[in-house]
Structure 1
């Protein structure tokens, strides 16, 4: 099977994104792709996008 060159980089980016949320240093807000992510970040929230997690899981199956 052919592996796309950016696959390893994307895995690292996504891993860092999710692991960074487990530090407990900031509040976490769930947000959809059309949600006010910039507003939430300005209030100090880490923004979690469930769609990204679902896509990541789907791509690994």
Structure 2
């Protein structure tokens, strides 16, 4: 019974990370559009942050102001 609680907590944590990934990817896409980049560039940012969440977000934060 205790294992079920630990599993539930683990799944809840994974769901939170997944939702955080979605939110940060949408933010990066909208921020890219707001900064005047093309929709194609913003789509590449969106895909990059979706598939490589941490590295993609760090790279975007470095290149967003250049």
* TM score, norm. by length of structure 2: 0.37
Higher helix share: 2
Higher strand share: 1
